[in-house]
Structure 1
Amino acid sequence: MGKQYSQKTLEERKQQMAEILQNLEDGVKEVFTSENYIRYLETFSKFHNYSFNNTILILAQCPQASFVASYKDWTEKFNRIVKKGSKGIQILVPAPKKFWEEEECTRPDGSKYTRKVERRKLYFKIGHVFDYSQTTGDELPSLTQKLEFETPELNRLINSLFATSEVPIHYDYDLKENDANGYYNLVKKEIFLKADLKALHKLKTIAHEYSHYYQETLYKEHTKELDRDTKEVIAESCAYCVIEMLANETNMEKLSSDEYSFGYIASWGSKDLKELKSTLDIISKISNLIFYWVSKQFDVS
């Protein structure tokens, strides 16, 4: 049986929702310092199946969270018990409501009549999840067993990405040591990589340039007004998330955060909340698309 929470009055529920939305707003603003931004990307990479809003809420309430689930899921799916006295992490849970509405219609002869049509509206309610550290019981296989992923596997993965990419990926043998590791050719719609990159840097660069590809195609309406620096941060963020997601599922090494460039982040603090949320939402969506493609090559997803 799920954990029971005391019944609240309508006013108490409104107040609770107002507080969680304020926490969400504060959490978004807190993301935009260099240290907090990396922490947000790491949290998103762990919980990329959760919505952007819930990722922010998990980070704000439990920065050290590693794996979260509802009280019921811990008990029934994972055979683990939530420790007595543990405080649930509040998240927003979709709660669609169905209602009927009268609609005016016109007959072929021009006369009017009304009919009832079913409508649906999406509301949200407050739910609770608990971190792995708040539970006891059976070990989670996903936390104790990871896929072997050394350099040979990584090279095979990269070859598979070349073969299955939606856009052609080539090596540019003219790129010198101090040049960029790769680029996306907007006119040709092709990705080019520096030929002598190590395997992990090839993967990072593919993810980075694939983000540019999606920004200029699938998400063009969302990014067309963004400046070049912002698009670069989005691409670098997606590369970071994809590497983190893969490392969370395998024993693949990760690059140091020093090998990523997020210097432009500090200036984002002056943007309005809607713009900040939109940018983070784009990062989460594109990262998931790239991760889905990459993980399909070796059945991680």
Structure 2
Amino acid sequence: LQKQKPDVGLVGSFGAWKNQGYHVKKGEHGLKIFMPCTRDKKDVNGNKILDKNGKPKQEIYAFKLGTVFETHQLVEYENLPKPVAYLPDNPDDNRKLFFSITKASDVPIKVLETAEMCSGANGFYSPTTKEICLSPDLKGYQRIKT
């Protein structure tokens, strides 16, 4: 995306922006990305595998070329929520909120041993281990936000 538009901001598909109540400006050309194709996971008998909420689990089986639009290409750009750069710290709530998030998440969340394992990022999703990995340097609401 940065090669196509060096100052790229938040992106979404035409449908994703529309579902959120935003509209792409007329005449705008989208950016090309590879998008995952998903399908329901099935067991050996062909039955759908359900998660703990009764929804079918999804798996990525291929990627296709898709089009996304950047925030500046939207009619209502001024009304978009701005990304949060910093969250204030409230030590009383941090542990409880982080514990609640990890308990409610369908994806395991773990804090890595060293920040170097994140390669400079605050955190990432690992498709091989199927878990969210967080930098140990994150504290308080920054850890919760990530």
Scaled by the length of structure 2, the TM-score of the pair is 0.52
- Secondary structure (helix, strand or coil) at the match of 1:133 reads helix
Matching of residue 73 in structure 1 with residue 73 in structure 2: no
Change (3 A) 1:65 1:121: closer
Matching of residue 128 in structure 1 with residue 67 in structure 2: yes
Offset at residue 144 of structure 1 (A): 7.0
Offset at residue 95 of structure 1 (A): 2.1
% identical aligned pairs: 20
Offset at residue 148 of structure 1 (A): 4.8
8 Å Cα contact 2:112-2:134 kept in structure 1? no
Task: Report the Cα distance in structure 1 between the residues aligned to 2:39 and 2:112, rounded to whole angstroms.
Answer: 40
Offset at residue 129 of structure 1 (A): 0.9
Which residue number corresponds to residue 289 of structure 1? 133
8 Å Cα contact 2:114-2:135 kept in structure 1? no
Deviations for 1:236-282, whole angstroms, at most 9, x for unmatched residues? x32xx32xxxxxxxxxxxxxxxxxxxxxxxxxxxxxxxxxxxxxxxx
Change (3 A) 1:74 1:292: farther
Higher strand fraction (1 or 2) = 2
- Secondary structure (helix, strand or coil) at the match of 2:133 reads helix
Figure out how many residues of one structure are paired with residues of the other and give that number.
108
CA RMSD after TM alignment: 4.3
Match of 2:114 among 187, 192, 210: 210
8 Å Cα contact 2:115-2:135 kept in structure 1? no
- Secondary structure (helix, strand or coil) at the match of 1:136 reads coil
Offset at residue 135 of structure 1 (A): 0.7
- Secondary structure (helix, strand or coil) at the match of 1:73 reads helix
Task: Report the Cα distance in structure 2 between the residues aligned to 1:144 and 1:121, rounded to whole angstroms.
Answer: 28
Matching of residue 94 in structure 1 with residue 33 in structure 2: no
- Which of these two proteins has the greater Rg computed from alpha carbons? 1
Change (3 A) 1:144 1:127: closer
Unaligned runs of 5+ in 2: 47-58, 99-110, 127-131
Task: Report the Cα distance in structure 2 between the residues aligned to 1:80 and 1:97, rounded to whole angstroms.
Answer: 27
Please tell me the residue identity of whatever aligns with 2:145: V
Task: Report the Cα distance in structure 2 between the residues aligned to 1:292 and 1:93, rounded to whole angstroms.
Answer: 30
8 Å Cα contact 1:91-1:129 kept in structure 2? yes
Matching of residue 59 in structure 1 with residue 2 in structure 2: yes
**Correspondence 1:64-213 to 2 at 5 A:** 64-77=7-20, 79-96=21-38, 118=46, 122-137=61-76, 139-141=79-81, 143=82, 148-149=87-88, 153=89, 156=91, 210-212=114-116
Offset at residue 211 of structure 1 (A): 3.0
8 Å Cα contact 1:210-1:290 kept in structure 2? no
8 Å Cα contact 2:8-2:70 kept in structure 1? yes
8 Å Cα contact 1:71-1:129 kept in structure 2? yes
Matching of residue 300 in structure 1 with residue 142 in structure 2: no
Please tell me the residue identity of whatever aligns with 1:129: V
**Correspondence 1:30-69 to 2 at 5 A:** 58-69=1-12
- Secondary structure (helix, strand or coil) at the match of 2:134 reads helix
Higher helix fraction (1 or 2) = 1
Scaled by the length of structure 1, the TM-score of the pair is 0.28
- Secondary structure (helix, strand or coil) at the match of 1:75 reads helix
Please tell me the residue identity of whatever aligns with 1:71: F
